[in-house]
Structure 1
Amino acid sequence: MTSSNSSDSSPPKRSYLHPGPIESFVANGLKTFDYYFDLPLNHTDQSSKQTIVVFARRVVAVERQDDAEKMPWLVFFQGGPGFQAPDYNTAWVKMAAKKYNVLLLDQRGTGLSTPMTVQRLSQFKTPQEQADYFMYFRADSIVRDSELIRETLLANYSEKKWSLLGQSFGGFCITTYLSLFPASVTAAYITGGIPPVFDSLETVYRKTFKSAIEHTERYYKRFPMDIKRVKKIMKYLATNEVRLPTGGILTPRRFQQLGLSLGLSGGMDRIHSLCLQAFVTLSDGKEELSSLFLTEMESQEQTPPIYVILHEAIYNDGPGVASNWTASRLLKEEFKSTFEYSLEKDTSDKPVYFTGEHMFDWMLDDYASLQPLKECAEILAKCNTWPKLYDPEVLAKNTVPVAAAMYYDDMFVARECSEKTASRIQGLRLWITNEYMHSGLRDNEAILSKLFQIISGETDVPVS
């Protein structure tokens, strides 16, 4: 993979801005500008004429709007994959908007960009055509989108570089950006998202399954009575067919996916509250799952297709690598005795363990919203023709200042694998903390403030 210098002073060959007025508004002390870009679906095939729309919102503090044209830019890459950018008045955005033109990017397929939905995918004639389309929604395409946006928005700026901020999967995107277009970047900030460039998907998931076990045990230590409550819910789901309003099936294994919340701030309390309100007693004395509980579980159906179907594929760094439903395979083999629930083996002293951020093949059966994409998902799980995402040689010679916050007990990202990558990115300054969870950036803007200080030299962190 060859790095590209795209930050020269020549104007872009064309403007990718969608024709029409740029909508703007003022609210909560912020001035916003909404941009729509018409970008190539396939950046590497010059003969392809198919395009998609990518949306981005520029945010600047009202008191700085007269100086906005002189302020540097900071583009944000959201976690996921498959989730849109955060709201414009998020705490860290308000803080950063006093210093930067903050660009909140709805990555292709998310938010106000051309959506990757079952409705849109139904327009393709075959599952193979759907799978071919999905291939263009990983970090490499997202980064190339960003480069064309940078060239367009910064065309009249004397400084044509910008800074990058990435949360979780957004940090994966930044690492790809530093591999492809380092000359376009002034500085990079990563929160909970250094990718495991040098480890296999099996290694990553072994660690994250073990982390899910540890977080589950912490949950039961805080709420010991929930051991029985959770088992009661699991037993009910195992002996009754519970259908959600949208038609999806609420199975025991699907309920265990609530464990994803354990890695986020407030997640333990959310699950505990659900367990307390899980059952309602009817007039005949029988119990059944409450409508409140089912409504909460119904929210899982809003999971974006990209998040499920491309989640393992974001780890496939180049041709010859296929994901093959790694999480499902490990769950059925190495971790079966821990996570599998069966009535026959249900004992009073064995707790039910929750899974974490793992996507399974059976989700295409249990989730009604995903069932139309089952064949497409199977094709992508077997695909081994993915393009490269990272260039270790370029990263080893990196000259872009990088500051990264790594959360010691992160349930979503395997810390040891991230540390290995961080040690091989030249100039990366790593701040490891146990004060925050994976949702740290959303929870406390002080994290970004400290990363700014690390790059500016206002504070020091140990360099490993």
Structure 2
Amino acid sequence: MSTVEKPTTCNNNTGGYRRPGPIESFVSNGLRTFDYYFDLPLKHTDPASKETIVVFARRVIAVERQADAEKLPWLIFFQGGPGFQGPAYNSGWVKTAAKKYNVLLLDQRGTGLSTAMTVQSLSQFKTAQEQAEYFMQFRADSIVRDSELIRETLLANCTEKRWSLLGQSFGGFCITTYLSMFPESITAAYITGGIPPMLDSLETVYQQSYRSVIAHTERYYKRFPLDIKRVKKIMKHLATHEVRLPTGGILTPRKFQQLGLNFGVSGGMDRVHALCLQAFVNLNGKEELSSLFLTEMASQEHIPPIYAVMHESIYCDGPGVASNWTASRLLNGEFKCVFGYSAQDFEAFDDDASKKVYFTGEHMYDWMLDDYASLQPLKECADILAKCTTWPKLYNPEVLAKNTVPVAAAMYYDDMYVDRECCERTAKAIQGIRLWVTNEYMHSGLRDNEGILTKLIKMVNGEIDVPVA
């Protein structure tokens, strides 16, 4: 018999929340915003724990709808990541949605204006084990429980106590967890590029991810064929010289390869090409990597700890599953011949146009805790989390199989970050989901075209005839 979980509450003198009303409000660009801060339990499943964290959320409505704002339905947005704060209040889709909804932009716990998850804040813990136990409270299950308590507060005086959900990428993973835990709280759910591969192993997920970034690298070189030689030149220089970044860190070949993370969003390949064009300068007859190039590469080092340390854990659905640095294991094994290079390799195929350097994609590696100075203090903690086998369940297949919440999802045919085939298998396990599979957009579709949300809403409303699972 499947069960639907009820949220716990935080017992303090304000009925569970500090400052339940908006702290600040302003008008800009035709939008009215209201800023909220909530004191929420750090450990939702431990009633004995009194620890709390602050979670920030910004409510946005169109200025022309202020008079009837209390009558408008609510739409909460879950950002991609994990580890990234909510989008700007004046984003294209937000402006459109704010004419019909109270849009709530959530800074998921540990991000943005919520209680910070930084190397600095983590230094308060005495041991790496304590750090790891803290990190474990920042997955989708905790984010969803935060949201449910926020809903109870903000919609307490509304006639309609439910709200709609919108999730991009990892935000779609959060929505699937929400559908598993609190379906009775949801009016409708909209997912863009983010149906989780809950039926596939980590090995399958990352095997598909590597194959996808190989294909995207080929497309990059087809668009910019002269970059085949430029990239090899950069890689050879990095393999034979110690290159220091303005931040003090060392730029290694494998760090440069991580620029492939850009290939799956609109304009990403163009940005990498522009960087390769300005890579070298000639100083007194000697070529060196330019300060512009090094400054841009240094900016790539600013990786949120949650994104770097917890990324593989988002695929660990329940006890008995350990991430065990899957991306690293596959890179050093099955895919080593594609992505592994040495200085001798570049000497061998320097002038051979058929030989290419392949970039990596959205993969977090164990060596990053050595190569990235900002992450080095978390190395032991990250290893503990990689070996962890006590992760709680994120999804309830029984509840999803009987789902009655209207769900519409945009699935991008060549999505480099969330494999389409894995997503399709999950979609078949969610009763009633409406799928829109398209090759018109990349993973950044929601950011690029506000019409995507409009179409998903029409799908749920029955204004567009699409197949229902």
User: Shared topology, TM-score over 0.5?
Assistant: yes
1:366 aligns with 2:371: yes
Pairing of 1:99-118 with structure 2 (within 5 A): 99-118=100-119
What is residue 152 of structure 2 aligned with on the other side? 151
Q: Residues of 1 paired with 2:3 and 2:259: CA distance?
A: 41
Residues 2/242 of structure 1: CA separation in 2 closer, same or farther (3 Å cut) = farther
1:90 aligns with 2:91: yes
What is residue 10 of structure 2 aligned with on the other side? none
Q: Residues of 2 paired with 1:300 and 1:308: CA distance?
A: 12
What is residue 392 of structure 1 aligned with on the other side? 397
Deviation track 1:82-141 (CA, whole Å, cap 9, x = no partner) reads 000000000000000000000000000000000100000011101111001000000000
1:343 CA displacement: 2.1
1:341 CA displacement: 1.2
**Farther-moved stretch of structure 1 (247-256 vs 398-407):** 247-256
Q: Given residue 400 of structure 2, which amino acid in structure 1 is its aligned partner?
A: L
Kept in 2: contact 1:401–1:455 (CA 8 A): yes
1:45 aligns with 2:46: yes
Q: Residues of 2 paired with 1:274 and 1:258: CA distance?
A: 10
Q: Residues of 2 paired with 1:33 and 1:208: CA distance?
A: 39
**Farther-moved stretch of structure 1 (267-276 vs 454-463):** 454-463
Q: Residues of 1 paired with 2:119 and 2:20: CA distance?
A: 28
Q: Residues of 2 paired with 1:42 and 1:136: CA distance?
A: 6
Name the SS for the 1:189 alignment partner: strand
Q: 1:352 aligns with which of 351, 357, 365?
A: 357
Name the SS for the 1:454 alignment partner: helix
Q: Residues of 2 paired with 1:380 and 1:342: CA distance?
A: 30
Q: Given residue 253 of structure 2, which amino acid in structure 1 is its aligned partner?
A: P
Kept in 1: contact 2:432–2:468 (CA 8 A): no
Kept in 2: contact 1:4–1:183 (CA 8 A): no
Residues 254/26 of structure 1: CA separation in 2 closer, same or farther (3 Å cut) = same
Residues 19/65 of structure 1: CA separation in 2 closer, same or farther (3 Å cut) = closer
1:21 CA displacement: 5.9
In structure 1, stretches of 5+ residues that fail to align are 7-12
What is residue 321 of structure 1 aligned with on the other side? 321
Deviation track 1:254-304 (CA, whole Å, cap 9, x = no partner) reads 000000100010011001000000001102x11111010011111112110
1:72 CA displacement: 0.3
Q: Residues of 1 paired with 2:250 and 2:415: CA distance?
A: 30
1:286 aligns with 2:291: no
Name the SS for the 2:191 alignment partner: strand
Q: Residues of 2 paired with 1:179 and 1:282: CA distance?
A: 60
Q: Residues of 2 paired with 1:178 and 1:139: CA distance?
A: 12
What is residue 9 of structure 1 aligned with on the other side? none
**Farther-moved stretch of structure 1 (133-142 vs 337-346):** 337-346
Pairing of 1:17-166 with structure 2 (within 5 A): 17-18=18-19, 22-166=23-167
Kept in 2: contact 1:5–1:182 (CA 8 A): no
Deviation track 1:323-378 (CA, whole Å, cap 9, x = no partner) reads 00000000000000001111222312310000110110001111111011000000
Q: Percent identity, aligned pairs only?
A: 79
What is residue 236 of structure 1 aligned with on the other side? 237
Q: Residues of 2 paired with 1:217 and 1:16: CA distance?
A: 52
Kept in 2: contact 1:4–1:182 (CA 8 A): no
Pairing of 1:292-441 with structure 2 (within 5 A): 292-346=292-346, 347=349, 348=352, 349-441=354-446
RMSD: 1.3
Residues 20/152 of structure 1: CA separation in 2 closer, same or farther (3 Å cut) = closer
In structure 2, stretches of 5+ residues that fail to align are 8-13
**Farther-moved stretch of structure 1 (95-104 vs 243-252):** 243-252
Q: Residues of 2 paired with 1:432 and 1:20: CA distance?
A: 40
Q: Residues of 1 paired with 2:21 and 2:173: CA distance?
A: 33
Q: Residues of 1 paired with 2:307 and 2:64: CA distance?
A: 38
Deviation track 1:403-425 (CA, whole Å, cap 9, x = no partner) reads 00000000000110000000110
Give the alignment's TM-score, normalised by structure 1: 0.97
Give the alignment's TM-score, normalised by structure 2: 0.96
Q: Residues of 2 paired with 1:76 and 1:393: CA distance?
A: 25
Name the SS for the 2:276 alignment partner: helix
Kept in 1: contact 2:16–2:39 (CA 8 A): no
1:264 aligns with 2:265: yes
What is residue 447 of structure 2 aligned with on the other side? 442
Kept in 2: contact 1:17–1:152 (CA 8 A): no
What is residue 217 of structure 1 aligned with on the other side? 218
Kept in 1: contact 2:144–2:174 (CA 8 A): yes
Name the SS for the 1:344 alignment partner: helix
Name the SS for the 2:44 alignment partner: coil
Residues 183/463 of structure 1: CA separation in 2 closer, same or farther (3 Å cut) = closer
Kept in 1: contact 2:459–2:466 (CA 8 A): yes
Q: Given residue 320 of structure 2, which amino acid in structure 1 is its aligned partner?
A: G
Q: Residues of 1 paired with 2:22 and 2:43: CA distance?
A: 27
Name the SS for the 2:274 alignment partner: helix
